[in-house]
């Protein structure tokens, strides 16, 4: 995703810029949901693995299975939670579409 943000170097930012030259960076809701879902999924998987290691009484072959199941469970819970948080951020931020005919 390419940024359309104008900077001070462009001479267009600040109170002197006309309305035609001011641009607003808008985060696409699907990007917010995907990004937050990915981040929360990784965190959930790591928490699941840490919990499996902590709760398993001894190191054995069952620990690998427990870690795998905990990673899937924590990861899927994190993806759902991250998707929810990303959707809330996207809706609260709002989506502004450019007027027709402008590029």
**Confidence at 86, pLDDT banded by 50, 70, 90:** confident
Contact yes or no for 23/5 (Cβ under 8 A): yes
Q: Is the pLDDT of residue 2 over 80?
A: no
Task: Quote the distance between the C-alpha of residue 63 and its chain's center.
Answer: 31
pLDDT by residue (tens digit) across 32-82? 788 888 888 899 899 988 888 888 888 888 888 888 898 899 889 888 888
Say how far apart CA 63 and CA 54 lie, in whole Å: 10
Q: Is the pLDDT of residue 97 over 70?
A: no
Mean pLDDT taken over the chain? 75
pTM to 2 decimal places: 0.58
Say how far apart CA 74 and CA 17 lie, in whole Å: 48
């Amino acid at each position: 995703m390419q940024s359309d943000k104008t900077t001070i170097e462009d001479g267009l930012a600040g109170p002197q810029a006309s309305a035609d030259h001011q641009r607003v960076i808008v985060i696409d809701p699907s990007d917010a949901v995907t990004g937050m879902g990915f981040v929360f999924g990784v965190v959930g998987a790591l928490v699941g693995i840490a919990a499996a290691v902590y709760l398993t009484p001894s190191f054995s072959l069952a620990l690998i299975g427990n870690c795998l199941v905990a990673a899937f469970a924590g990861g899927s819970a994190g993806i759902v939670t991250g998707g929810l948080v990303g959707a809330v951020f996207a809706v609260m931020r709002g989506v502004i579409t450019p007027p027709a005919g402008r590029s």
